Amino acid sequence: MNNKTRVVIADDQNISRGFFEMYVRAAVGYELVAGLRTAGEAVEFLDENEADLLILDVMMQEGIDGITAAQMIKERHPKVKIILTTSASETSWEEKARKIGVESFWYKEYDEHGIQEIMDRTMNGERVYPGDQPKVPFGKITRADLTDRELEVLRELTGSLTNEEIAEKLNISVNTVKRHLQNIMEKTGFVSRLELAMNAKSLGLVVSDLDRTGRDD
């Protein structure tokens, strides 16, 4: 009788997917049953096949994103445990993951714990989420030095919204948006909205809903 944990991996980056596949194959007590390139393929595979654990990347270049797929899978197959992973440092995804019942969340670049430990703890019944924000360098500071509201404004800025559109979406005044952007520039040393947005986006510091899902949630 095969008592190994059956693992599915879905990641559109070949190197990252290969890394996960290598670790699963080498791990005692685990069996790789599928390595997939999109989140949609993970949903379809689990509709037709049994598995115990899904390692799923949040950002996908094609089709639905990992958070959307995780919600679909939790609704259809609640016994499948999920580890959401990302190379970005977008912390708002942790709250979304918790709300839909995802067991664990792992930052590929910033988590001090290895994926093997996260797999073991998840399968042992733990819900494993990072305790601290990733300390990603951003100009003269780190991501952790920005307030939650500053991160919200910056997130919408990376989605190419105007000050007026940011104000409407966050239910604050345009002057408040301008003040937050000025504060961020003073903290980081960046000199323009464009420089802020380009650097935040290239670092994966924050990711707008539009960039994650292809639609403005």
pLDDT digits (tens, 9 = 90+) for 163-189: 999 999 999 999 999 999 999 999 999
Specify whether the CB–CB gap between 24 and 52 falls below 8 A.
no
- Domain 5-123 and domain 137-213, same fold? Reply is no
The arithmetic mean of pLDDT across residues 105-116, rounded, is 86
User: Does the pLDDT value for residue 93 go beyond 70?
Assistant: yes
Q: What is the number of alpha carbons within 13 Å of residue 17 lying toward its C-beta? A: 18
Average pLDDT over all residues of the chain = 92
Specify whether the CB–CB gap between 69 and 40 falls below 8 A.
yes
Any idea which residue has 């494993």 for tokens?
Answer: 128
The two tokens of residue 25 are 């194959």
Residue 135 pLDDT class (50, 70, 90 cuts): confident
What residue spans define the domains of the chain?
Answer: 5-123, 137-213
Strands 5-10 and 30-36, by their bridges, are parallel
Strands 81-86 and 137-138, by their bridges, are unpaired
Q: Does domain 5-123 have CATH number 3.10.20.740?
A: no
137-213 has which fold? Arc Repressor Mutant, subunit A (1.10.10)
Residues 24-68: tens digit of each pLDDT: 999 999 999 999 999 999 999 999 999 999 999 999 989 999 999
pTM (2 d.p.): 0.85
